Structure formats: C-alpha cells, structure tokens
Amino acid sequence: MAIPIVNGTSCLSLYASSKELLDQAINFYTNIIGLTLHSEDEDKLYLSNDDSTLAVKLVLSPKKGLSLDEIITKRDTLIKSLNVHDWRSLETTIVLKYTELVNLISSLKTFNQPVQLSPNELFPNEVYTIDPLGNIVGFTTSENPLAVVPPIEKFISEEHILSTLMSTTVSDRSRNDDSENSPKRNIAIMTSGGDAPGMNANVRAVVRAAIYRGCKAFAIMEGYEGLVRGGPQYIKEMSWHDVRGYLSEGGTNIGTARCMAFRERAGRLISCKHLIEAGINALIVCGGDGSLTGADLFRAEWPSLIQELKDTNEISLEDFNTYKHLNICGTVGSIDNDMATTDATIGAYSSLDRICRAIDYIDATANSHSRAFVVEVMGRHCGWLALMAGIATSADYILIPEKPSSSKDWQEQMCTIVGKHRAKGKRKTIVIVAEGAITSDLQPISANDVKDVLVKRLGLDTRVTTLGHVQRGGTAVAFDRILATLQGVEAVKAVLDVTPDTPSPLIAIEENKIVRKPLVEAVKITKSVAEAIQNKDFEKAMSLRDSEFSEHLSNFIAMNSANHNEPTLPLEKRKKIAIINIGAPAGGMNSAVYAFSTYCMSRGHTPYAIHNGFAGLSRHESVRSMDWLEIEGWNSVGGSEIGTNRQTPQDTDIGMIAHYFEKYQFDGLVIVGGFEAFVSLDQLEKARPMYPAFRIPMVLIPATISNNVPGTEYSLGSDTCLNSLMEYCDVVKLSASATRDRAFVIEVQGGNSGYIATYASLISGAQASYVPEEGIALDQLESDIKSLKEAFSIDRGLSKSGKLILKSTNASKVLTTEVLADIMKSESNGEFDVKTAIPGHVQQGGLPSPIDRTRAARFAIKAVQFIEAASDELLEFKYALDFPTDNKTITGTAAVLGVKSSHLKFRSIRQLYDFETEIGRRMPKNIHWAKTRDIADQLVGRTRLVKP
C-alpha cells in the first residue's frame, strides 16, 4: 500500500540489530505512538495507524541496525544537547505525518521520552523524539516540509465550560488529555492552624482544578473541628461559583479552628466515618507542621480506623471496599515560613510585606526625631520573618532564635554596631526582634529588653512597636496568590497520582519550581529545628534550615558590617568593581546597588557606581565611588538612584567606555537591567579581543518588569510590577462588580513578553489574557466573547460578577485595547458593557516589594562572589595579543545570573545570546510560563485555541 509520509516515501523501514531491540521498538510504536501491528513475520513487521496515513516497517537486521552500546551513546549525546542544539542540525531526521500532535506530545511526556518541540513549546508544529533504535523521529501535521501547518487546537468543549460554570456535580466527560484516564475522586480541601494570606487562593485552585478534572470538590469548614463534627454543615460540596472572589480575600473563608478532639483516636475514628459518609477519598490540607502531622497520622491510621468501623457495623462492606485508602496531600500555609524542604510557605511573603511596609513608615518618623525603634515580629521557632525584614529594610540589628548569644554578648554586639552606625552619621536605628528570640541559655529576649539596653547604654530615644496580628491580615500579595494557586493545582494532580504505597506528598517550591516532597520527612525536619534549639544545639538548628536561610543570614551580617568591621580580604585580593543600571527602571535596582556596595565594603573592595548608564559614562565620565552613609536607606526606594537609560555601548561610544574602564582600572562589572543590559553584556564580551579593558569578569543581574531576559525565569522588578498590577486589577474589578454586567479590558506592559499578562491573569482571575506569543486570533476572540455572554447570563444579579480581560500592548497592533473593547461591546448585543483601563507606568511600581529587595541582595552578593572567583582566570590574558574567543572558561566569565527551574546559576552570555535568544523579538526561545497560561485558563473555564 502507498502510504504518504512527509519525506515522500511510501513506507518507512527501520532496522533493529537484535530481537530485544525489535521488541522495544514494537512497544514504542504501538503503545506510545499509537500504531497497530499488522503482521507477525519474525523478521519484518508492519505497523500503521487506523486510517493508514502513517506506516512503519520494522526489520531485524544485525548489520544495518545500531548496536545497543551505539544507541545508548547516541541517546545520551542527544539528551545532553536537548534545548541547547536543534537535533535537526546534528543529523538526518525522519519526519512523519501525524494528525493528533497534542495527544502525541502528551503521550511522549507521560512515558518520559525526550521531546524537542519546534519552533517552541508554546506553539509547537513539529515534535521530535528518539526511538529505541536510535533514530531521531519527527512528527508534524504538515503534508510536506514546506507546507503551512494548520493550527493545533487544545480543545475544551463548550459543553464542558457550561457544565463547570453551572453545575455543582460534574460528570465523567473528558475535560482534557490529562483527565481522560485519571481516576475520578471526591477531593476535599481544608485549612487548619493559623490563618495565612493566600489560603483562599489555594482553596479556589483546589476546588476548580478538581472540577476541571471531572472530580467532585468539597470544603471542610472550620478545619479538623469540622471533620470531627461532620454533616453537610461542615463538609460542603463546592461548585465552580462558590469560590468566586476568593483570590482577593484575606484569611480563609472556609474557616480554621484548633481541635483537641482530633488529637485523640476517637476523634479520628468519627472523622473517618464522616469522610466516608460524604464519599470523600482524597484530602488536601493547607496548614502548618502541626496540621500536616495530623493529616499524615490520619492517613497512617486509616486502614485500622475503617476496619474498626466495619467491625462495629458503622459502615457497610461496600463502603469498606470502596474507601479502603485515603489519599492525603499537604500544602503549607504558614506566615512564619518554618516548613523544611520548601523555599516559601503560603502567606509568608504577604506577612513580610506587612512588616516591611510598617518599618518603611516607622523609618520616616525615626529619621525625623533621630529615634531608635524596636520592632517585634512573629516567629516563635523561626527567625525567617525577622531576617528577611532585616535585609529588606537595612535594619541595624536582628535577634532570631536560630542564632542566639549570651545575655552579655548580644547586648555588647548590638550596642557596638548601633553606636558605630550613629557615629558615622546615621540618624535612625531599627532593631527587629523575632517573638521567639532567646539567649544561648534559652532565656527569652523581649522587645522591651532591647529597648532598655538601647536607652541605658546608648541614651537613645527608643520606642517599641509590636505588629502582632497585623502580620496575618489583609489580602495576599502576588507571590502568595501564585504560589497558592500553583500548589493547589499540583495538589489535585498529586492525590490523583498517589497509590496506597506512595508516601503522602507535600507540595513545595524550590527557587522557581513547584515540586513534591515527602510530607513526613518535611515535618520531621521542621520539628527537629525546635528540638535542636531546645537542646541548645544551635549549630544543628541552623544546619536543618535550608541553605538559603544560612545564605541570607551570612549576607545580612556581611552587609551590616560594612562600616564597622575590618575587611575580610587581604589587601592584595581587594578589587575595584563597578555597577551600572541599563534599561527601564525596575523595583529592586536600588536594593541591588545597596547590597553590592555594602558587601564590597565588608570584603575590602572599592565599589563604583556608573551613573546614567553607558551614555553617562561615555559623555560625562559619570563614575563615583560609593559612600556608606550616602546609600543608607536605598533598599526601600523605588526607581534607580544612580540613573539608567536604554543605550548600549555601541549606541554610545564603546571606545570611550573602554578608555574609562582602563582609567579607573575596574576589576569587575555588575550590570543590572533588562534586555538592553543583556545586549550590552554581549557587546562588551565580543569587544574583549579589541579592548583589554573589558577582559574582566562581568555579570548581568536581570532586572525588568517584562521578565524577558534569556537565562532566567525571574527578573528583579517583575514581582513589584505584579503587585502593582494586582492592586490595580482588584480595584477595577470592584468597579466592574459594583456596576453589574461590566467587563474591563486592561492594557498590560511587557513588550513582546506575555509573562506579566499571564501571571496577572492568574492572580486576578481574569477571564482571558492576550499575549504577543499568541496574538489575537479572530476565532479565539469570538470564543471569548461567547464565553463572556454565557458568564454574564449565569452571573446576572450575583455579587462579585465583574470581569477582566488582560491584553499585552504588543499582542496585536491592529486590535488595540480600545478596538478590542469596542468589538466586545458591539458583539455583546447589549448583554454587558465593556470599558478600558490602562495602568501605564504605574506597573513599574513604587516601593520595591520585599521579594525584589531580598533577591536583589542575594543576586548582588552572588555577583561579587563570582567576580572574586573568576578574576584569576582572566589575569594571564589581560593584555595578550591573541585573546582566546573560543575558550569556554574565558567566555564563561561574562555571565547572566538567573533562576532556572529549581536552581540559581550563572550562564555564559555567549551560549545564551547565540543559541537561546530570539534577538529580533527581544525574547528567550523557551517560554517558561506556557504551563501557567494553561492553568490560568483552566481555573476560569476558558477555551483557548493555541495556534503556531
């Protein structure tokens, strides 16, 4: 039979060198690719799909087929080059026609096959993988290599949208490829322990993600107390609409309460019965270590509890067989950020935001009256809040439970530091005390104790401020909404994936990646910290905290000792290091300059600031060394104090820039900025052969609200931007809800990057977002307008019914924000009104967020450490006539510092610029937020038609 294949052959022949490899190939092409085996000839096997548009002949041939060792070597080489090199450029590839490309991608990833998508992950029109015989096999919907590929449609039916929006109980219809073969469970969510901002976002995500996957969703009211009491009053089935508006509300709407009864087996026994009565077989708990310990104990006892209920005829044999196992998953809601194995807990950064705002306000009055303020923050066993607030606000001193000293030592040390700061001309003093602060003999240190020492020893006019439960209150910041939402969605996936033999998972975050960790292990380590402190083993307590905690503490000590301790480096190792801001202002730029300068001072380096970018340097020689008192307070200042502009070295005068670099004998350069800074680093690195002045270590710290710098998934300023945009959207949504039947189209910045629009959509609950990566297709617009009509029809007369549509400025040059609003209004047939809202440069934010302040400090100090380590590698080539341009070690000394998945790493500018960047679009090739777009759409029930 003649089978059309993209490369023109009638049937593709593949060769296996052994019977074992032949069997593996059969399994691959039948189970993963979906072909059917048509012959049982021992040496030649024919496979094809149902409509015979794709056929493969597998031939057993020891001479023509690759050996197992050759296949393994080849496969390892290709996997190492995945997302670094295009496989098509490495060797000849086989390309086959395949109509269901989205299903194929899902199947390949399910079976952990290496996958390379073209042109990118967001809009793939070709997919390549490696078969068991060592062939690179590609699949496309195109008839031939030059054909225009039809759009790939990730289709969710209109029936699905209506059912999810209108009904409480969702049928077993397939929702998407993920849910089609997933078990259908009744999933309950509960919040327990102390409330934390973001818990409501977590509840919303769990409820809607469960419904989206064809499961029933329940909320257990009042935590474990509701579980013990049971009944429909406390165990409520939740509909799609029940969690509307949850994103912008603080606390937990489903309640939380302490429950002594659940601590006893009798309480857990009745709770088991209540869950079975409600038909629940999966439980997600959002709470602290105590709540999660109770949850895992409940799961461990479940077999004996259900056995006892059967033996006493409390449940039927059918119920016993149906509910033999309870799947448990934890998400951590705690403002203290005291859970081990995760970088952040839900609510921690919202609490830190409250603290930093309060200290920013206190700072002004302290400066006015030359006063000292002692601020007490929460943290009974964990000093994270106090430590991070100390970094974010440039506090003079902090007291935390993990690093105590004797009663005499802490008083002496604090007074020495504060005294020297005052002697240098500082008018204010801020000391932050964690509520669990102790001495080395476990005696508590209160805020009043600290005040008395400052008054008696230094004679300072001192006040005490205890923030108390203000730290728990208010709506969640953008980070916590994102974290809670993504963890909620992952928690639903986890309870659907786990088996009776799988340990209960905890949903955690590492750097920028949502991961699953063993719940028992995380709780055990967390409790061990408190035990170590109680046993006065403070070194162990610090070691049990994650490495980032120790790193932040070390950074705080280094920055805080900039003006009163001897530098830690000998004279011969001290350097002259410059910092420069390039591009648009972004929150955290000043924090980076402050941290860079104070850390340099503590090490003995001379920090220089290049003012007003490369244009300022080439035209006005705008170089100044940094003074400690001059930069005091910069941490909490927005914008860029040293100035910034978008001009690159080649836009100004690269020769003059080299001249000034040589004049000041810079030993290293830190560039803070966005894509213009990225291009600037590339230009400086390429100019090294001609200008020896640039043969120094150079580091880029990404800082742009667009978050479009290749080599990182996080840029300084993007969190500040999201918080500003979140507050703006919340206000606009209130206006839309109050007016009834109104939608707002909000224009979002970000250049050619859809990052801001995507995450703003996630945290505001927008009905749709349009981004440059996708554009605005007319069929997508038509679908969205139809969904708006249906949503307004269902919501008529209900509160919290305002709708938002987010549009990136560059999503479409034709369909502007005003035109988009006019089209929607015209097509609404009078069923709803549409207005526009353009926040403009408000999105750059005012005061930088605590995340941008603390990450700026971490990035800046890492950059200086990189320069210290890399300097020796360039010494021998400083004035060499033949400068090596192909030496990876040398090119690696010009790097971008960024977050990639769960790692913080330096990436060579050459690798990033040459292989991972779309220069014309000012974008990285890999769009790391693509999955987040899917989640944002899923949680509002939007049908998105994804086109290449």
Which amino acids are annotated catalytic?
A: 336
**CA–CA gap between residue 902 and residue 900 (Å, rounded):** 6
Picking from 330, 164, 204, 253, the residue whose alpha carbon sits closest to that of residue 942 is: 164
Task: Enumerate the β-bridge partners of residue 329.
Answer: 284
Neighbours of 255 (CB within 10 A): 18
Asked if 345 and 337 touch (Cβ cutoff 8 Å), the reply is yes
Asked if 696 and 881 touch (Cβ cutoff 8 Å), the reply is no
Task: Enumerate the β-bridge partners of residue 748.
Answer: 808
Residues 6+ apart with CB under 8 A from 73: none
User: CA–CA distance from 539 to each of 340, 403, 521, 533 (Å)?
Assistant: 16, 8, 20, 9
Chain position carrying tokens 């009565």 = 277
**CA–CA gap between residue 802 and residue 809 (Å, rounded):** 22
Asked if 353 and 849 touch (Cβ cutoff 8 Å), the reply is yes
**CA–CA gap between residue 210 and residue 488 (Å, rounded):** 10
**CA–CA gap between residue 933 and residue 762 (Å, rounded):** 8
Picking from 123, 164, 150, the residue whose alpha carbon sits closest to that of residue 787 is: 164
Picking from 714, 706, 712, the residue whose alpha carbon sits closest to that of residue 344 is: 714
What is the pairing mode between strands 505-510 and 513-518?
antiparallel
Task: Enumerate the β-bridge partners of residue 60.
Answer: 16
**CA–CA gap between residue 623 and residue 662 (Å, rounded):** 13
**CA–CA gap between residue 924 and residue 348 (Å, rounded):** 31
Vertex 208, ends 273 and 727: CA angle to 5°?
125
**CA–CA gap between residue 817 and residue 744 (Å, rounded):** 10
Chain position carrying tokens 């590929």 = 149
Structure token digits, residue 513:
């990646």
**CA–CA gap between residue 183 and residue 214 (Å, rounded):** 9
**CA–CA gap between residue 188 and residue 201 (Å, rounded):** 15
Residue 923 backbone phi and psi in degrees, to 5: -145, 150
Look at the alpha carbons of 353, 358, 362, 364 in this order and tell me if their dihedral is positive or negative. positive
Tell me how many helices (H) and strands (E) the chain has.
30, 32
Q: What is the DSSP letter of 886?
A: S
State whether residue 66 is helix, strand or coil: coil
Helices 930-938 and 478-497 meet at what angle, rounded to 10?
Answer: 80
**CA–CA gap between residue 615 and residue 645 (Å, rounded):** 8
Residues 6+ apart with CB under 8 A from 818: 836
